[in-house]
Amino acid sequence: MVWVAVLRLWVTSRSRIKRERRSFGSAVYSDHFELRHFLTQGVVLGLGLSVVNLAVGFSLPLLWIVIYEILATLTLVILPTTVLPLTLIVVSSLATYFGGAYITDWPSLAPTGLIWGNGAASQVPAQNYLWLAAFFFLFLGHWLSHYGGRFTAPRIYAKQRGKRIAGYPWREFLVLPMVTLVPGDWFASHWAFWPLLTIHGHSFAILVVPLLVGLRFTVFRQIPRVVYQKLAKWMIRLAVIAMGFFGWTTARPQDFSVLLILLLVGYAIVLWRAKRYDEHQQFWYSQVDDGVRVLAIRPQTPAVKLDLVAGDIILECNHQPIDSETSFYEALLINPTYCHLKVRNMAGELKVTETAIYAGAPHEIGIVLFRDQEA
């Protein structure tokens, strides 16, 4: 599953770079930042979760791990642009707990040495699945808070009232290497070298399980950073609710399935409300008749010093009124080493900003605009 995830994210990142080069002449972010986040943040958060799991003795049944990894791999292959991480956790948990023992026509797993259901003493408490959901929300909230909206890579979508519009998609996901205890001696019975731990008379194997965390969302009418900060707060709230459900099921474990489904519904409602709120805003990242819309700022370019953000409208460049990408670069050539801009921000306020630019290379200023359409 890890290698499929790496390949899927590399393909997604490569497609983004190609699309940006086709839409804007060059990529906004020419590096594969999605893959970099995958490799760094995934490992850091996975180590943190592993330490907590080992400290509290968290365990998962081997059957859950098998079902989850199969479903996650199929999701990454069949649904390449959609990540359903919480759904995978819920479906795997319900299938593990209720399969076989409650649905008698399910296939027998006896030849594999695995068993359906949580009835056996070697299986884990049902509330452990809520523990997993709580940390999913916690890490997703942390990730959105720190990285949401920081890499605003625009994408050109269909025309709105005769004008092109841009949106800001989030298509990233992480795979956390989560260390967990697996009850029973299945590993030792198949591989004699596999180490086992004995805790209160029960045998546990130690296993590293890849856990998928991700989100699919597109912002059309708001500042992406603000949207993801709000979503991060809601994810933290859901994490607190999940921990409350975990405490509840220590006394009433039979309620875990209902509470797990409630978390999934709550997660869907949060994303639906965020999407609906975005749809009801008046603002669009669209083309304008008076000036040119800023869609993004390429990192490590002179534009970084211009105090511009996505959504701003450049009205004048070097005291020349502009209304297209071509007229913008023509105005830059008036003073090939300096750029003076008159800008109107998203709130309608005017401001003036200026900076030095690369001599003789106005196209390297780093401001991403709608490209002029060919006649």
Q: pLDDT band at 307, cuts 50/70/90?
A: confident
Q: What is the pLDDT of residues 67-112, one digit of tens each?
A: 999 999 999 888 765 668 999 999 999 888 877 555 555 555 544 5
Choose among 166, 188, 117, 196: nearest CA to 312. Answer: 166
219 band by pLDDT with thresholds 50, 70 and 90: very high
pLDDT given for residue 254 in this prediction: 86
Which domains, from first to last, does the chain contain? Answer: 2-279 (no CATH), 292-368 (2.30.42.10)
- pLDDT value of position 225: 93
Q: What is the pLDDT of residue 230?
A: 96
Q: What is the mean pLDDT of residues 326-337?
A: 87
What is the structure's pLDDT at 375? 42
Task: Name which of 84, 6, 8 is nearest 39 in CA terms.
Answer: 6
Of 202 and 63, which is predicted with more confidence? 63
Q: Which residues 6+ apart lie within 8 Å of 307 measured at CB?
A: 351, 353
Q: What is the mean pLDDT of residues 266-293?
A: 93
Instruction: Give dist(CA 114, CA 62) in Å, integer.
Output: 8
3-state DSSP: the chain helix, strand, coil percent, rounded to 5? 45, 20, 35
Rounded Cα distance between 76 and 7, Å, is 9
Q: Using a pLDDT cut of 90, give the percent of the chain over it.
A: 53
Digit-coded pLDDT (tens) for 235-273: 999 999 999 999 999 899 889 999 999 999 999 999 999
Place of tokens 């459900």: 245
At 106-124, the pLDDT tens digits run 555 544 556 655 444 346 8
Residue 197's pLDDT is 77
H/E run at residue 11: helix 2-24
Output the pTM of the full model.
0.88
> What pLDDT, on a 0 to 100 scale, did the predictor assign at position 362?
62
- pLDDT at res. 182: 86
**DSSP string for residues in 170-216:** E--EEEEEEEEEEESSHHHHH-TT--EEEETTEEEEEEEEEEEEE--
Average pLDDT on 316-336 reads: 89
What's the confidence (pLDDT) of residue 80?
63
Quick one: how far is CA 261 from the chain centroid? 21
Mean pLDDT to the nearest integer, 126-153: 92
What phi and psi, each to the nearest 5 degrees, are found at residue 105?
Answer: -90, 10
Q: Are the C-beta atoms of residues 364 and 317 closer than 8 Å to each other?
A: no
Cross-strand bridge partners of residue 313: 293, 344
Outline where DSSP puts E strands in the chain.
155-160, 163-170, 173-183, 196-199, 202-214, 217-219, 292-293, 296-297, 313-317, 320-321, 338-344, 350-356, 367-368
What SS3 state is found at 169? strand
Q: What is the mean pLDDT of the chain?
A: 87
Give Cα 124 to chain centroid, integer Å.
Answer: 30
Q: Of 34-38, 135-139, 306-310, where does the model show the most confidence?
A: 135-139
